[in-house]
Structure formats: structure tokens, C-alpha cells
Amino acid sequence: MPTCRPPSWPPATTSPRGWSPIAQRARVLRESCFAADGRLVARSQTLRGRAAVALAMDELFADARGLKTRLTSVVEAAGNVFRFRAALEFPDGTRLFELVDVREVNADRRIAQLFTFIEPLRDADPAP
């Protein structure tokens, strides 16, 4: 079975690219990077297990216009946790949304938990 990355590299540098419209590549990365019992937590739902995540990815990238991902930040990693920002865009540059992902990997170096936040946080109101 392929691995997310060689053990010396953080899995963060590969896994965002798993969210691509190329079904075969996405499938291989899902299988190699996401734990079978992993959990994806988003604002409106929690997905449990690789199969549920796979279905959500397939639905998201089913758009015939060819949705693509683009990293928009560095990948910050510390211990078994990493985070990054990415944009989901169509080939003409139209942005669907931007997200911030925070991911935790397990002892097998697979994503055990993924917390995803759509769009950047708003600025705080200035203090009175």
C-alpha cells in the first residue's frame, strides 16, 4: 500500500493535493493518508470513516467544470498536528471557497482527525 510520504516528511505536504479532481489519484491518497476510522469535522457535519470522507470528496469534485485545489499558505507542522490554508477553484480562476484545515495524524501516520473551516475568520471588532 502506498504511504502518504516517507517517514521523514510530514504527511501535510501531500494530503491537501489528495483533494483533486483526478479521481484515481485522489482515491490512492485517501486510502494511503486517511485512517479507516478517521473523522472529518466541518461546521455543518461530522463524517466518520474513510468511506464517508471518500463519498464527500467524490460529490465535491463531481462538478464537470473541473474543481481544483491550490495551497495558499505554508504547511505548519508540529508533532502529529499540521495545518494549512487552501483554495478550491475552477480552471478559470473562479474561487468556490477558501479553507483552513487542521489535521492530526495517528501512530501509522494517517490522518485520524481533520477539522476544516471554510473561509478565513472575520476580524474582531475594535475595542471600544
For residue 4, tell me if it sits in a domain. no
The count of structural domains within the chain is 1
Question: Residue 10: is it exposed, middle or buried by C-beta count within 10 angstroms (0-12/13-18/19+)?
Answer: buried
What is the per-residue pLDDT for 41? 93
CATH number reported for the structural domain that contains residue 44 in this entry? 3.10.450.50
Indicate whether 12 pLDDT > 70.
Answer: no
Domain membership of residue 109 as a residue range: 11-118
What is the per-residue pLDDT for 37? 93
The predicted-structure confidence for 32-81, as pLDDT tens digits, reads as follows 788 999 999 988 899 999 888 888 877 777 777 778 888 889 989 899 99
For residue 73, tell me if it sits in a domain. yes
Is the full-model pTM beyond 0.75?
no
